[in-house]
Amino acid sequence: MVYADDASEPISSEYARFQIKYDMFFKDKTIFVPNDISVGSLANFDYFYRNIAVNPDSIIVNVDNDDCLFDVDALLKIKKEFDCGADVTVGSCLRLDKPLKRYHVESFKECWKRNGDNIWLHPKCFKRYLCNWIQDGLIRDGKFIGVSTDYAIMLPIVEHAENPRQIKNLIYLFDPSKENSTKILKYGEGKPLEMRRFLLERGRKDHEKKVVAVIGDGNILPESEEYKAAKSLGRALVDSGYKVQTGGLGGVMEAALAGAKESERYVHGTTIAVIPSKDANDANEYADVVVPTGLDIMRNSKVVDANAVVVIGGGAGTLSEISIAWQKFKLIIALKGFGGWADKLAGKPLDSRVRYPKVEKDSIYGVMTIEEVLRLLELNIDKYDRKHSAIKWRKNK
């Protein structure tokens, strides 16, 4: 447990310090972070996830100092959801200022369309690796955001979560503090509403920027023509308004991200690395967002979770990614001229299944130039929108 005391009143600070130092339960399980001056909740959270909770598989449970988990089995109920595949959970909570009101999350998808929905619900719980999507999103105009802080944290996390859930049981007591009630005066009349609008608009823009995965040889040298082509491709993709996602290691993966960062349209958060280990430091230096899966070769399924996939060269690992992308109904484009599976499969369907009945000659599209890649993306990326669902065996009855 980590307890951050943000320069609270002496009686509160000393009580917490005493409990953590002498209580048999807390003293060996708690990291105490005392602040001499108040820096705000987001500054404390930013320090926490960057420097303390560094294990990507950790489950982060947020509890405000003036609130509590009032169900004795709250943590067990939260963990049960994560054991069943959740990567984010919210709520449910009892608000002391609105004790009869019950909150519901209509949907976690595109919640920015619904004024953020109720993704703020306490307790906010999520896997640590999802914090990598926050980047510098807690800061505006060089300062940590002081209002609408729940949305600042949760909008990027929920947007990139695969299985967010709402816990229906009331497990959290939410007591809005006097400090929260005076924030409108502190930050100026109308600021909370303006800030939420800013965060929602930022969430919309992030959602609408499509992601292209670039896959291929991982062992080529920077002076090779293949590396140079992948670098040019990464730059061209960002020039055209896309984000670039790779497996985050060397060769084509490194080149594509390096090129992406050279684009004049590059902004922080544009380059994404989905790596096989749990150690974010294993990613190449050009990755803004690192997703340390800990899945080893099984992480190939995550790499191709994008709006489209471009293949350059490639061996067995690339072939597995192509196969998964095909099964996941992705638009796949092979940039020819560098051998490997890109050249072998260019212009061919991977199997006989009909993925898109209305798409004539659906296949792994083969092209010779980056300009052709961009043209195919422009023409087809919105057509290839089918989602993979669970594999089911339809037995003969």
pLDDT, tens digit only, all 397 positions of the chain: 999 998 888 888 898 889 899 998 888 899 999 999 999 999 999 999 999 998 888 999 999 988 999 899 999 999 999 999 999 999 899 999 999 999 999 999 999 999 999 999 999 999 998 998 998 889 998 999 988 999 999 999 999 998 999 999 999 999 876 655 555 444 444 578 899 999 999 999 988 999 999 999 999 999 999 999 999 999 999 999 999 999 999 999 999 999 999 999 999 889 999 999 988 889 999 999 998 888 999 999 999 999 999 999 999 999 999 999 999 999 999 999 999 999 999 999 999 999 999 998 999 999 999 999 999 999 999 999 999 988 888 777 5
Residue 51's CB is within 10 A of a number of other CB atoms, namely: 9
Torsion of CA 275, 281, 284, 289, to 10 degrees: 70
Q: Which residues contact 134 (CB under 8 A, 6 or more apart)?
A: 49, 153, 156, 157
Q: Give 201: exposed, middle or buried? Use CB within 10 Å, 0-12, 13-18, 19+.
A: exposed
Compute the residue count for the chain.
397
The ranges assigned to domains in the chain are 39-206, 210-380
Cα–Cα distances in Å, from 297 out to 246, 318, 362, 369?
14, 11, 27, 30
Alpha-carbon gap, residue 112 to 108, rounded angstroms: 9
Separation in Å, CA 161 to CA 63, 301, 307, 374: 21, 15, 16, 28
Fold classified for 210-380? Rossmann fold (3.40.50)
Cis peptide before 10 (omega within 30 of 0): no
Q: What is d(CA 172, CA 94) in angstroms, rounded to the nearest whole number?
A: 6
For the record, the structure tokens of 341 come out as 């599976």
